[in-house]
Structure 1
Amino acid sequence: MSSTYNVLFLCTGNSARSILAEAILIAEGKGRFRSFSAGSQPKGEVHPMSLALLQKLGHDTSFARSKSWDEFAVEGGPKMDFVFTVCDSAAAEACPVWPGQPMTAHWGVPDPAAATGSEADRMLAFSEAYRMLRNRITLFTSLPIETLDGLSLKQKLADIGKTTS
């Protein structure tokens, strides 16, 4: 693996969870990671509450657009080192064959875009998704990737996906 790792976050719509994860890793990656997101059935636009939360927390959102995972499964596309599904639907779908055979793991997070209730209730769902993803991404970026064998790394990635805090 290289010293800069490409990471792709997948979700069905690429409008909320995967966008949040992409933004978090952009901020937390410290040059060690390049962050991307995509969806199997992209909505075509980023959820407004995703953008509002990210902007409120000081993230640059100029990167944010809803796009298909097909963009990353093509010849000449960026070779992914890691691919994480952040929704159960995308995890159950047949994914493209990723060039370079990246490490994969499922880090399912409840869909904040499906939240109902008041605007405050819905924003709370986005904040909770952000918190869960940030905690997982912090654990991921602290891994000594270069020193772990493939099996150990795969297990640690799966364990991160099971964290609830």
Structure 2
Amino acid sequence: MTLGSDIRVPLKHLDRFFVDGRWVAPSTGAMIDVIEPATEQLYYRVAEARASDVDRAVGAAATAFHDGPWPRMSHAERAGHLRALAEGLRRRVGDASEIWPRESGVLHAAAQASLGAIPKVYEYYAGLAETFDWTERAESAMGAFAQIVKEPPWAWSARSSRGTRR
């Protein structure tokens, strides 16, 4: 999106939401003005989500998480997706480092450092998924044994430790 002759916003689909794997129209045409703090000028407009839009997105995310392929994937498959996500985020660090300071006034160098660290978090957890010893054989004195399998309870975001359950 471009506003005026000198303002470039490296974002697409500012008038829609990404829900259930596709771009969808919001329930209303209401938009939110994002004002650049340094100039107090309009930077861009983005669709305003209403409660029904949020409910639709959260419902689709919960369905995808519980009924989609993720819960049935192996740890190695999940690690591959985490690495792909890290790479995608890494490719967008430049754009995000341009947007964040103009949205909030954060220093550009701070934005680059913070945003550049996020892909490393996903790569770290991908590495754990690939190398963690997920099973343990516990033997008793009488020759019987049990196998303990360590499974994560749910996926965690890079910045949050709260999970949502149905």
Shared fold by TM > 0.5?
Answer: no
Query: If the TM-score is normalised by the length of the shorter chain, which range does it land in?
Result: under 0.3
Largest Rg, 1 or 2: 2
Whose RCO is larger (CA < 8 A, sep 6+)?
1
TM-score scaled by length of structure 2? 0.25
TM-score by length of 1: 0.25
